Amino acid sequence: MEKQRYERPMIKKLESNMPNKFGMRTEYRPMTHIDNVAVKDLIDEYGSPLFVISEKTIRNNIRSARKAFETRYPKVQFAWSYKTNYLDAVCRTFHQEGSWAEVVSGFEYDKALHNGVDGSKIIFNGPDKTEEDLNKAIKNNSLIHIDHLDELYAISEIAPGLNKKAQVAIRVNMDTGIYPMWDRFGFNYENGQAWDALNKIMRTDAMELVGLHTHIGTFMLSPNAYAVAAGKLADLAIGIKDKYGHEIKYIDMGGGFASKNKLKGTYLPGTDINPSVNDFAEAITGALINSNFKPDNLPLLILETGRALIDDAANLLGTVISNKRLSDGRRSTILDVGVNILFTSFWYDHKITPAQPFTQYAEDTVLYGPLCMNIDVIRENISLPLLNKGDHVVIQHVGAYNMTQWMQFITLRPRIVMIDPENNVHVIRERETLDRLLEFEKVPDHLKTFDL
Q: Which residues bind another protein (CB under 8 A)?
A: 3-14, 16-20, 22-24, 26-27, 179-180, 265-269, 271-273, 323, 325, 329, 359, 361, 386, 388-389
CB of 272 to another protein, least distance (A): 5
Looking at the Cβ atoms of 351 and 415, the one nearer to another protein is: 351
CB of 289 to another protein, least distance (A): 21
CB of 328 to another protein, least distance (A): 10
For residue 77, give the H/E element and its range.
strand 76-81
Please state, in angstroms and rounded to a whole number, the distance separating the CA atoms of residues 96 and 85: 16
Looking at the Cβ atoms of 19 and 116, the one nearer to another protein is: 19
Looking at the Cβ atoms of 304 and 363, the one nearer to another protein is: 363
CB of 317 to another protein, least distance (A): 22
CB 171 within 8 A of CB 179: no
- Cβ-count burial of 449 within 10 angstroms (0-12 exposed, 13-18 middle, 19+ buried)? exposed
- 10 Å Cβ neighbour count for 388? 14
CB of 27 to another protein, least distance (A): 7
Q: Buried b / exposed e across 340-374, counting CB within 10 Å, b at 16+?
A: bbbbbbeebbbbbbbbbebeeebbebbbbbbbeee
Looking at the Cβ atoms of 126 and 270, the one nearer to another protein is: 270
Of 97, 57, 55, the closest CA to residue 80 belongs to 97
CB of 4 to another protein, least distance (A): 5
Phi, psi of 214 (to 5 degrees): -145, 165
CB of 7 to another protein, least distance (A): 6
- Residue 297 is classified by DSSP as G
Looking at the Cβ atoms of 204 and 388, the one nearer to another protein is: 388
CB 347 within 8 A of CB 402: no
Of 37, 53, 133, the closest CA to residue 92 belongs to 53
Looking at this protein, which amino acid is placed at residue 130? T
CB of 14 to another protein, least distance (A): 5
Looking at the Cβ atoms of 94 and 358, the one nearer to another protein is: 358
| Three-point CA angle 389, 394, 430, nearest 5° | 95
Looking at the Cβ atoms of 256 and 306, the one nearer to another protein is: 256
CB of 2 to another protein, least distance (A): 9
Please state, in angstroms and rounded to a whole number, the distance separating the CA atoms of residues 378 and 360: 23
The upper half-sphere exposure of residue 211, i.e. CA atoms within 13 Å in the direction of its Cβ, equals 26
Looking at the Cβ atoms of 265 and 295, the one nearer to another protein is: 265
- In 291-407, the DSSP E strands lie at 300-303, 314-325, 331-335, 352-354, 362-368, 377-385, 392-395
Please state, in angstroms and rounded to a whole number, the distance separating the CA atoms of residues 360 and 10: 12
Phi, psi of 163 (to 5 degrees): 55, 40
Please state, in angstroms and rounded to a whole number, the distance separating the CA atoms of residues 419 and 34: 8
CB of 383 to another protein, least distance (A): 10
Looking at the Cβ atoms of 79 and 334, the one nearer to another protein is: 334
Looking at this protein, which amino acid is placed at residue 197? A
Phi, psi of 200 (to 5 degrees): -60, -45
Looking at the Cβ atoms of 199 and 266, the one nearer to another protein is: 266
